[in-house]
Amino acid sequence: MENNQKKILIIGAGWYGCHIAKSLIEKKQSVTVFEKSSGVFGGASFNNQNRLHQGYHYPRCSKTREQSSRGFHIFKKKYPMLTQRLDYNIYAISNIESLIDYETYKAIMKSQGLKFEDITDASPVELRNVAGLLDCEEEYICPYKSADYFDNVLKGRINFDKEVSAKDVQVLKEQYDYVVDCTWGGILSFEKDLYYELCLYYIVKSEIFINMAITLMDGELFSIFPHGEDKFTLTGVGTIVRGTYSEVSEANKAIVQLRREAEDIRSIDENLMNLVLTYYPNFLDHFKFERAVVSMKTKFKSQTDSRYVKIYREDNYIGVLSGKIDTIFDAESMVNRIIFE
């Protein structure tokens, strides 16, 4: 091993683990990745809305908007082959449930320097009960292309079906110069305000709704977002969470049962369906249910729905509490400062 080369273990082969591993390899470090599933992006990095944020999703948290906007432009330079422009990426502001009115929402985005077009009178989709609609340039990150890309880039460095427990961490800390935990607190609850959400959302299919996305704002509403070819994710903020846990061990047990139950689901939750039809009356004419999907999200308590990156360090153990895909570069920078300080 070269004099300046460090032996580094990355736990988790999702977006954060794969990107940080790739960046450390480019710096000529000795990198090994442990992933508990049988492939790259086996968890929330695939089973999620793969939205390349700019900040429109977070009108109540300037820090999250700033990280997203910065991350968007870096991501486009670093991984342009993994993203796709949408013909329409619509944010619709409810006139009956939104926490922020349309004019305030637009003012917040303008103050952030974010560009958009007001399409309230020119929407390609008939929506009701909305105060206004804007079309923005956020993009879709293809999870299939992304998984294939990192599977190839990190080939020979990843050990699949390698689950790490809290008890294993101390031993691994002795074997490696640094252990970087990119499991979103999935091994150690390293912050007191962490909690774990079990989420259930739906994959729907459409031959009419093509290369578009709709997000209802701001509050417990819903989103329709691409998930490859003619498939889309349908998520409802008020219905997606099917269990909240303060201990990761309990969350891991519960998600096994929820995944079993999801296999028997044959239709969209009635409450979510009623919500969608309130705003998108032609939804059932445009979409068909395909399957239910389960994932787990780790969050920290926040009154503003903040999703910025936080780092925890204990000796040579680095815990990464990630926000969204576009904040991988903030996490990379924070990890680098520790490793190369």
pLDDT, one tens digit per residue, over 203-261 is 999 999 999 999 999 999 999 999 988 999 999 988 989 999 988 888 889 999 999 99
User: SS3 of 225, please?
Assistant: strand
DSSP sequence for 69-138: HHHHHHHHHH-GGGEE--SEEEEEEESSS-SS-HHHHHHHHHHTT--EEE-TTS-SS---SEEEEEEE--
The reported pLDDT for the residue numbered 187 is 84
Residues 115 and 200 in one domain: yes
Residues 74 and 42 in one domain: yes
Residues 184 and 315 in one domain: yes
Distance, CA of 13 to CA of 10 (rounded, Å): 8
Residues 30 and 57 in one domain: yes
Residues 54 and 179 in one domain: yes
Residues 40 and 102 in one domain: no
pLDDT at 302 over 80: no
Residue 307: band (very low, low, confident or very high) from pLDDT cuts 50, 70, 90? low
Residues 270 and 319 in one domain: no
pLDDT in tens, 114-160: 999 999 999 999 999 999 999 999 999 999 999 999 999 999 999 99
**Model-level pTM?**
0.84
DSSP sequence for 115-131: -EEE-TTS-SS---SEE
Neighbouring C-beta atoms of residue 311, cutoff 10 Å? 18
The reported pLDDT for the residue numbered 304 is 47
Residues 129 and 220 in one domain: yes
Q: What's the structural domain count of the chain?
A: 2
Helical residues (DSSP H) of the chain, grouped into ranges? 15-26, 62-78, 102-111, 143-153, 166-175, 248-262, 270-279, 283-286, 328-339
Q: How much of the chain exceeds pLDDT 70, in percent?
A: 95
DSSP 8-state code for residue 188: -
User: Average pLDDT, stretch 44-61?
Assistant: 87
User: Average pLDDT, stretch 184-211?
Assistant: 85
The reported pLDDT for the residue numbered 180 is 97
- By residue range, what is the domain housing residue 248? 87-137+194-300
Residues 157 and 283 in one domain: no
Phi, psi of 320 (to 5 degrees): -105, 115
Residue 306: band (very low, low, confident or very high) from pLDDT cuts 50, 70, 90? low
The reported pLDDT for the residue numbered 214 is 98
Residues 31 and 65 in one domain: yes
Residues 208 and 295 in one domain: yes
Specify the DSSP element, H or E, that contains 236: strand 231-236
The reported pLDDT for the residue numbered 247 is 84
- Average pLDDT value over all residues in the chain: 91
pLDDT at 270 over 60: yes
For CA atoms 182, 262, 195, 302, the dihedral sign is: positive
pLDDT at 303 over 80: no
Residue 80: CATH number of its domain: 3.50.50.60
Residue 199: CATH number of its domain: 3.30.9.10
Residues 320 and 242 in one domain: no
